[in-house]
């Protein structure tokens, strides 16, 4: 039997017989005399020889995680978590945005219909009291237009105080009446309209021969021969540019009755449909598929057309 002996002088490992253990022997390589230790166990190998050619592992520093100070590590961790949360929140918001917009639009559309219903109800209340619907506009002795039907309906829309301040014998834009021009009547505007248009109306009537509103003259319900449910009374208009006090509406003689067509047409802020108030008090959503001939026929009161508009509600 033999054991490995490492010379402390030349670091050469040699195999020596067991009986050399614990004695001084000469190194077979360098010839230097060295002790082999005691007992049958070989002397320990020197640490510098044992670790020769190996890089010592750097001891871990106290107060560090993954080589970073603990405080820095947790700051980085929190920032990373926040980034993930924000990123996920952005993705979720992007996914939910169409649904949120659809819900908001549905709410605005319902408010728009409610406005139309209130205006149509005011028309009925005026008719019950006066015996006729209001004229499209009032005129002075010279035929000059003074005020819109919208002004005449103010007392029936809880706007009596505003109505009492208006001088009906003066034009709507006279120096005195102009002072009231910045007054906003929310019932006369669609909630989907831009904020910069708050004094402009989104509700108009079709004015012209054989309509409910021929001009400065008034119409009685009994004159609507085509039937109240088949006659359009009030319509939506987008970007009308018409101040709610202004005696101006849609002129049937200048219309081609295409929904969402030019500025002088029936149009809506609500995608794919337009709200109209019928003479019988119902509020309808007319799809863009409605033909111009149908709309033209239903804007008159005694054309003899027995037509029905398509409804999507």
Counting other chains too, the contacts that 29-37 makes at CB distance below 8 Å and 24 or more residues apart are 32/7, 34/7, 34/8, 34/9, 36/5
Tell me, what's the pLDDT at 40?
Answer: 42
**Annotated domain spans of the chain:** 2-50, 107-298
Q: What DSSP state is assigned to residue 304?
A: -
Tokens of 24: 């001084």
| Alpha-carbon span 298 to 229, nearest angstrom | 9
Q: What DSSP state is assigned to residue 293?
A: H
Tell me, what's the pLDDT at 51?
Answer: 46
Tokens of 114: 């409610």
| pTM attached to this predicted model | 0.68
Tell me, what's the pLDDT at 38?
Answer: 47
Tell me, what's the pLDDT at 42?
Answer: 46
Compute the half-sphere exposure of residue 187: CA atoms within 13 Å on the CB side of its CA. 17
| Alpha-carbon span 43 to 31, nearest angstrom | 18
| Alpha-carbon span 219 to 233, nearest angstrom | 12
pLDDT tens track, the chain, 313 positions: 666 767 777 777 777 676 766 677 677 777 776 676 644 444 444 444 444 444 555 555 556 766 667 777 778 778 888 887 777 666 755 665 556 656 677 788 899 999 999 999 999 999 999 999 999 999 999 999 999 999 999 999 999 999 999 999 999 999 999 999 999 999 999 998 877 778 999 999 999 999 999 999 999 999 999 999 999 999 999 988 999 999 999 999 999 999 987 778 999 989 888 999 999 999 999 998 888 998 999 999 988 766 666 666 6
| Alpha-carbon span 234 to 56, nearest angstrom | 91
Least Cα distance to 256 among 293, 207, 209 occurs for 293
Beta-strand ranges (E) seen in 114-265 are 137-139, 145-148, 203-204, 206-207, 232-236, 250-251
199 contacts 244 by C-beta, under 8 angstroms: yes
């Amino acid at each position: 039997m033999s054991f490995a002996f490492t010379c402390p002088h030349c670091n050469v490992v040699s195999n020596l017989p067991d009986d050399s253990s614990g004695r001084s022997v000469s190194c077979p390589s360098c010839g230097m005399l060295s002790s082999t230790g005691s007992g049958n166990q070989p002397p320990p190998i020197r640490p510098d020889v044992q670790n020769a050619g190996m890089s010592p592992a750097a001891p871990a520093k106290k107060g560090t995680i993954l080589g970073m100070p603990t405080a820095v590590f947790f700051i980085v961790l929190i920032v990373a978590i926040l980034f993930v949360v924000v990123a996920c929140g952005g993705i979720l918001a992007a996914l939910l945005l169409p649904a949120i917009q659809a819900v908001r639009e549905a709410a605005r559309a319902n408010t728009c219909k409610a406005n139309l219903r209130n205006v149509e109800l005011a028309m009925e209340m005026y008719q019950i009291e006066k015996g006729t619907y209001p004229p499209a506009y009032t005129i002075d002795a010279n035929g000059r237009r003074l005020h819109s039907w919208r002004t005449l309906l103010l007392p029936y829309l809880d706007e009596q105080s505003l109505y009492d301040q208006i001088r009906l014998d003066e034009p709507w834009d006279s120096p005195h009446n102009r002072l009231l021009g910045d007054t906003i009547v929310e019932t006369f505007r669609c909630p989907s309209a831009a904020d910069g248009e708050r004094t402009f109306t989104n509700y108009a009537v079709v004015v012209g021969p054989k309509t409910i509103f021929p001009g400065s003259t008034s119409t009685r319900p009994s004159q609507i021969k085509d039937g109240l449910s088949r006659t359009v009374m009030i319509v939506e208009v987008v970007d009308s540019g018409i101040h709610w006090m202004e005696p101006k509406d849609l002129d049937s003689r200048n219309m081609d009755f295409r929904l969402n067509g030019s500025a002088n047409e029936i149009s809506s802020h609500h995608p794919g449909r337009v709200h109209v108030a019928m003479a019988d008090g119902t509020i309808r959503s007319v799809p863009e598929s409605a033909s111009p001939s149908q709309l033209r026929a239903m804007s008159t009161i005694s054309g003899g057309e027995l037509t029905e508009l398509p409804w999507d509600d």
